[in-house]
Amino acid sequence: ANAQCNGRYHDLVFSNVTKTSNVTYSTANSTTLKLDVYEPTGDAETMRPLIIMAHGGSFIGGDKGQDNVCTQICNNFAKRGYVCADIQYRLGNAFGMLDSATAITTVMKAISDGKSAIRFFRKDAATSNTYKIDPNKIFCGGNSAGAVLYAHCAFIDSLNEAPANLRTIITQNGGIEGNSGNDGYPSEMTALINLAGGLNVPEFVSAGNKPSYNAQGDADDVVPYMCANAQGGVTPVRLCGLGAMQPLYNQYALNNYSIVYPGAGHVPWQSNAAQMTQIDTTLANFFFQFVCTGTTGANELVSDNLVQVYPNP
């Protein structure tokens, strides 16, 4: 398969990346939201897979370009031949996150923005085709809060899946597709990048869900590895990380690749170059099955459900 694609999408086949900063993707809700686009310099391909990344910051801080995990993934995958985007989304404030309804509303607004970013690129592909993406190969995810955002995009398939209190907040914020603009285009993704993210309700994971790449430390209490209130209990909203999600991936035989870092806290790869390299290379391997297609047997090589635990021993 690697020969079929001439190394593209797996190896760093481009030396340079062209970054286009501050592209407006939404002006809904009286808010201007921007993203940065990363493309391989000099690339002639016109149907390229897209990766959209959302930064961390507990839904109260951070911005595009400030999360080194997101920017590293955008730069490295652009060198592999992808188009990548690093997005802004609406944020709340620290006091608001102490109230459960306000905190959930803040996250739902961010989810709405994340879906709008997906639709922005599909709209562009259908109109001006500025970014030359393949609208059938869109991968989304993030680091910490950004992974929480896109995990909910990936796994909430319908309003009926949500408990009553969550359904009310979703409805107040534009329904399952949100109210952040670029209407009329799908917001589905091909696969999820879940780096220390989680779900309010782990049972959002169900049969037929999208593939996912996951990594988390099993001592994480910011986004709890199992189910608990977020931020070490400070935020009165339950989050359930990879420890609660993985059994459901296994139960439903969902295509996934998961790395658990024993004893590690929140986003250990943020300051650990070896772990970041491991995530970068294994993510490239996992996504390769979806982007280098048409070769007999390529999917079967990497389609098994995998859990890897490091360090070993």
State the pLDDT at residue 311.
54
State the pLDDT at residue 3.
61
Token pair for 151: 């995990």
State the pLDDT at residue 280.
98
State the pLDDT at residue 4.
79
Reference 307, options 263, 252, 242, 226; nearest CA is 242
State the pLDDT at residue 42.
97
Alpha-carbon distance 104 to 238, whole Å?
10
Token pair for 93: 């404030």
Strands 191-195 and 212-217: parallel
State the pLDDT at residue 294.
60
In angstroms, how far is CA 296 from the centroid of its own chain? Answer: 28
Predicted TM-score (pTM) of the model is: 0.94
Token pair for 217: 């430390």
Q: Burial of 16 by CB count in 10 Å (0-12 exposed, 13-18 middle, 19+ buried)?
A: exposed
State the pLDDT at residue 310.
53
In the numeric block, the tokens 């639709």 are attached to 119
pLDDT digit string (tens) for the chain, length 313 residues: 556 798 999 999 999 999 999 999 999 999 999 999 999 999 999 999 999 999 999 999 999 999 999 999 999 999 999 999 999 999 999 999 999 999 999 999 999 999 999 999 999 999 999 999 999 999 999 999 999 999 999 999 899 999 999 999 999 999 999 999 999 999 999 999 999 999 999 999 999 999 999 999 999 999 999 999 999 999 999 999 999 999 999 999 999 999 999 999 999 999 999 999 999 999 999 999 999 986 433 333 344 445 555 554 4
Per the CB < 8 A criterion, the answer to whether 53 and 146 are in contact is yes
* Farthest-apart Cα atoms in the chain, separation: 54
Alpha-carbon distance 144 to 35, whole Å?
18
